[in-house]
Structure 1
Amino acid sequence: MKLDTVLLLFAFILAFLTGSITYQIRTDEEVDINDIKELNEINRDLQLNYNPILRLDLNNDYPTPSSLNLLREQTPITDKNLILNPRPTDCLKNKFNQMQSDFLDKETLWTSFLCKQILLLPRDFFSISPYIHPSGKSYAFMYYNLLPSSSKKQVWYKRNARFMHIEELKAIGWPLSENAQFLNSISQDKIDRILENEKVILTEDFYLLRTGNLKYFVLNADKAANYFSRAGYNLTLKTDNCFIKIGNVCWEKKPHNLISFLGQSSIILFAVTIFIFLLTANALYQRIKLKKMEEERKKHALRVLTHELRTPVASLLLQIEELTRETTQLPNETVENIYKIENEIYRLKRLAEKSKSYLQTQGDSDMQFHKNEIKVKEYLQEIIDEYPQVEIQLSVDRDFSITTDPYWLKMCITNLIENAIRYGSAPIKIEAAQDSEYCFFKITDQGTIQYQSLKEIARSKHENSKGLGLGLKIIQKTLKFLDGELHFSPNPTTFTIRFKRTVV
């Protein structure tokens, strides 16, 4: 097997292996229902194998949707002084609103209290919603700040801490409940995720697994990460390229050792594949280049030979012409030998002309065409007149004209006539006709031939048909440039040149 074929086959095998490995790796990385079930099973086992840091339950401290606002982000305060020290105009406006309205909302009551328009607030004022003043502060926290002594504040705090915002509890700094302490240790976005009841939540320090509505199993994040690692998963806070992502938790599946090795090897295989392809392409290029150089050398040798033959052939023809003038004085046997020599010289001349024509058709860019209108009957008669010693019959169905290159068309017809003379039998008949689509030139002789198609003639290795095949290749290529076609039918041997009338 040739080197370039081996290299090409090897490159295809490497490409197949690379593709297969990549497919296997990608298949291993695709999520299916079994992976989700596996993660759920790991989470259940996690709760059985570890004691939580905290079993978070917000339902007792924040039993209503309105109370959950005490955990949501506060609205920024624009003017702190207006919360506890309303201006006289604010008090007057508030009094006017009381007179105009049958119902007093919580904000109006609070402003009335601050403006000393009422002395006491209702007993359940702080325990009913809304808990947050439009300023962003809770009513319980604002009242806390009005108390004069630390002791009174402490008593108030113990009774009403659950009605204060989580950020306010952090600011006060008094002892907190276990739930409040935990909420103060995590960021606001994680609290928001708890309020959204996300299934799992991960922080820098904690792993939260939901066990019910606003209920979470809270575990140390490192312990959870180690547990998942042993189960074949990496637990991270990545935001993209996750194997499975639930909430803010990203699970990456740890590859098996073999798949990991092959995953790294696929890069090497890909690089080797590209290298082999380049090597193969270079080998093929070098072969084509060498073949082209060899063809050029052969063409050059043929050009030199053709050129060198022209002078001795012309000289021999002149000498033969001199001898044929004196044939009356020579014996008959000698005259026959002279005619045989003359025929061989003409054969040599035709061979040189065919070689020249072949070289011209091989250089496509060098072939020049000059299309002219020609009268078919007159044109064919001039060609026939060049063969006075051969019986050639001409038949033209209503004389017509075509537009083509007369030189190259003549070369094609002349080659077919000479093939008929050499390989066929007399008489030779040339027919020219046309129909609505095509015009035809048929060259027919009365000989028989063993081939059924042009392809068989071209492939033939028989000694008597080598020249025939070469000549037909020249004709086919030339007609292609003239937008024509060559057709063949045997017994009698008929070659047909066909042009489209719209073309020619």
Structure 2
Amino acid sequence: MVRNALLPLLLVTLPVCGQPATHLIHQHWQAFSDRIATVPGEAQISQQSLNQFPQELLLPVSQYPDLKRFSWAQIEKLYHIHSHCSEGENVLNDSADWRRAVQFELILCRGGKLPSQWSQHLSERHPAGGSYADRYVNYLKDHHEESDANAFLQQHANSLTLAHPLHPLHGIFASLSDTGQSAILGGSRYFLTKSGRLWRNTLTGIDVLSPEQWQPIADKAGIRITRSTEQISESCRFQYSNLCIEPRRTNVLWWQGGMLILLVIILGLIFRLGLERRREMKERQFILQLLTHELRTPITSLGFTVEQFRDEYDHLNEQSQHAFYRLLGDYQRLYRLTETSKGFLSGRREEGLDKQDAQFSEWLESIASQYDLHCHIDGDRRVSLPYYWLGVCLDNLLRNAVLHGKPPIYLDAQISDSLLIEVRDQGASPARWEKWLLTEKGDGMGIGLMIVNRIMRRIGGRLTHLRHPTRYILELPL
């Protein structure tokens, strides 16, 4: 009953661990995007100015070898040409791109200058990485006059890659990592730096928002934005570019504190109820011990009375003799009850559990004869058992079946390596959580299924309860 009363409260206090629906996070993110669009940022470059530069040369990938158009063998061949100023006989490719790369290396190796028709190819990528303009301006600075390099830059600065220090936009994007450059210049709307600055790519250009500008807007939108170091993070509920977006939990500390207090209260109640139950059990045990002790004196006196009647048995009439037999049977039962209960209540398992050797079928029939039922025994033999306590348990189950079950009632017993006694009727008993039976009341003093269960455990066995139909099984190893 205590467990059933606390179960709904425990269910209420459990936190809900399910993730919010993805579309709700999308709604919060859209609300953030709409609000942030109205906030002016620190302008970096307009979209019109950005469009004047070849996008391919702005991306960090332009610094790597162009393996889509050239093989490693060709790149190694170009290095050989660059070092020895000789093309050699091994022509790996006869395409226009390859012939142009070979011509470029031969001109630079021999200290010459590019002819004017090369102007249209300076923004193309060199097979080994970078643009032809990158390599040519470096060549002019190292092997020709400074004025030659400056004159070249005035006409072809836009043909440099963004990574080149002389590119017009290099200073703007130098603080942005290669990943950030790839995201912002590759089409992503946002990128978050380590310092918390939010780069933004809009229709009008690229600007930057400080944490003081975008974080309050994220709070109002109900989301928490952090920086993800992975391209695709499994820990993020929703990810855009390198932004990890999750719903913001409000009043987390208050909620956790409240839950902790409530949990402590519940545990305190459970502990207190456990102590109360233990105290009640001790009081009941004390009362049983007191009754057992106090009954010994009148039972002893009753024994003397029985002995006196025994001496006068031959002088009694037939009706009085039958009354004497009933008195003698009740005295023996009371005497056995007090003696075995004293051991059972002592706390020492070996006391009160004396076993007797008898024919099992005779003992079973002596109990079953009191009830209208079908009895069957499989494997009958003489066996040593604690017949008194086993009889108390079986008698209680039979009385319970008669009073609360549905006939017919069956009593089946089987003896092998263990003793199995099954009491079965045709009813359907309630589930344990529906009815926690503490005491069965019938004719006389019923001890209840809970006590039967405890007696069986005390004598080394167990009680099993099955519901459809109602079956109670006493199992005791031999």
TM-score > 0.5, shorter chain as reference: yes
Q: Specify which of 111, 124, 142 is matched with residue 117 of structure 2.
A: 124
User: Which residue does the alignment assign to 2:380?
Assistant: 402
Amino acid of the structure 1 residue aligned with 2:89: F
CA distance in structure 2 between the partners assigned to 1:111 and 1:202 by the alignment: 41
TM-aligned CA deviation for residue 107 of structure 1: 3.0
TM-aligned CA deviation for residue 230 of structure 1: 7.9
Q: Is the contact made by 2:130 and 2:161 (CA closer than 8 Å) also made in structure 1?
A: no
Ranges in structure 2 where 5+ consecutive residues have no aligned partner? 66-75, 396-410, 423-436, 465-471
Change (3 A) 1:353 1:59: same
Change (3 A) 1:435 1:143: closer
Q: Specify which of 271, 292, 305 is matched with residue 281 of structure 2.
A: 292
Ranges in structure 1 where 5+ consecutive residues have no aligned partner? 76-81, 385-391, 417-432, 441-454, 486-497
1:351 is the counterpart of 2:334: yes
Q: Is the contact made by 1:15 and 1:273 (CA closer than 8 Å) also made in structure 2?
A: no
* DSSP 3-state at the match of 1:466: coil
Amino acid of the structure 2 residue aligned with 1:39: F
TM-aligned CA deviation for residue 303 of structure 1: 3.8
Amino acid of the structure 2 residue aligned with 1:298: I
Change (3 A) 1:361 1:276: same
Q: Is the contact made by 2:219 and 2:248 (CA closer than 8 Å) also made in structure 1?
A: no
* DSSP 3-state at the match of 2:156: helix
Q: Which has the larger radius of gyration?
A: 1
TM-aligned CA deviation for residue 374 of structure 1: 6.0
Q: Is the contact made by 2:199 and 2:207 (CA closer than 8 Å) also made in structure 1?
A: yes
User: Which residue does the alignment assign to 1:45?
Assistant: 38
User: Which residue does the alignment assign to 1:34?
Assistant: 27
Q: Specify which of 196, 199, 221 is matched with residue 208 of structure 1.
A: 199
Over the matched positions of the two proteins, sequence identity in percent amounts to 11
CA distance in structure 2 between the partners assigned to 1:472 and 1:205 by the alignment: 69
TM-aligned CA deviation for residue 87 of structure 1: 8.7
Change (3 A) 1:55 1:70: same
CA distance in structure 1 between the partners assigned to 2:196 and 2:271 by the alignment: 59
CA distance in structure 2 between the partners assigned to 1:74 and 1:475 by the alignment: 83
1:196 is the counterpart of 2:178: no
Amino acid of the structure 2 residue aligned with 1:294: E
**Structure with greater helix percent:** 1
Q: Is the contact made by 1:245 and 1:251 (CA closer than 8 Å) also made in structure 2?
A: yes
1:182 is the counterpart of 2:169: no
Q: Specify which of 441, 466, 478 is matched with residue 459 of structure 1.
A: 441
Compute the TM-score of the two structures, normalised by the length of structure 2: 0.60
* DSSP 3-state at the match of 2:116: coil
> Deviations 1:317-344 (Å, cap 9, x if unpaired)?
333334456x49xxx9xx9999978865
1:91 is the counterpart of 2:85: yes
Q: Specify which of 238, 261, 283 is matched with residue 227 of structure 2.
A: 238
* DSSP 3-state at the match of 1:166: coil
Matches for 1:198-347 after TM superposition, within 5 Å: 198-203=188-193, 204=195, 207-211=198-202, 216-222=205-211, 224-225=213-214, 228=217, 231-232=220-221, 237-239=226-228, 245-250=239-244, 260-261=250-251, 263-305=252-294, 307-308=296-297, 311-324=300-313, 327=315, 344=327, 347=330
1:140 is the counterpart of 2:130: no
Amino acid of the structure 1 residue aligned with 2:334: L
CA distance in structure 1 between the partners assigned to 2:22 and 2:92 by the alignment: 70
CA distance in structure 2 between the partners assigned to 1:439 and 1:180 by the alignment: 92
Q: What root-mean-square deviation, in Å, do the aligned CA atoms of Structure 1 and Structure 2 show?
A: 5.9
CA distance in structure 2 between the partners assigned to 1:155 and 1:35 by the alignment: 53
Q: Is the contact made by 1:52 and 1:218 (CA closer than 8 Å) also made in structure 2?
A: yes
* DSSP 3-state at the match of 1:276: helix
Q: Is the contact made by 1:199 and 1:209 (CA closer than 8 Å) also made in structure 2?
A: yes
> Deviations 1:70-119 (Å, cap 9, x if unpaired)?
774457xxxxxx9x998997234x24347996865233213322443x95
TM-aligned CA deviation for residue 277 of structure 1: 2.1
* DSSP 3-state at the match of 2:201: strand
CA distance in structure 2 between the partners assigned to 1:324 and 1:87 by the alignment: 137
CA distance in structure 1 between the partners assigned to 2:47 and 2:95 by the alignment: 43
CA distance in structure 1 between the partners assigned to 2:144 and 2:384 by the alignment: 122
1:107 is the counterpart of 2:101: yes
TM-aligned CA deviation for residue 13 of structure 1: 4.8
Number of aligned residue pairs: give it.
Answer: 402
Amino acid of the structure 2 residue aligned with 1:121: L
> Deviations 1:134-186 (Å, cap 9, x if unpaired)?
27573333332344322222112212222223332x2x5xxx64x44422343
Matches for 1:59-74 after TM superposition, within 5 Å: 60-63=51-54, 65=56, 67-68=57-58, 72-73=62-63
CA distance in structure 2 between the partners assigned to 1:164 and 1:254 by the alignment: 44
Amino acid of the structure 1 residue aligned with 2:274: Y
Change (3 A) 1:140 1:345: same
TM-aligned CA deviation for residue 286 of structure 1: 1.5
User: Which residue does the alignment assign to 1:163?
Assistant: 159
Change (3 A) 1:375 1:39: closer
Name the stretch that deviates more: 180-189 or 231-240.
231-240
TM-aligned CA deviation for residue 250 of structure 1: 4.6
Q: Is the contact made by 1:354 and 1:471 (CA closer than 8 Å) also made in structure 2?
A: no
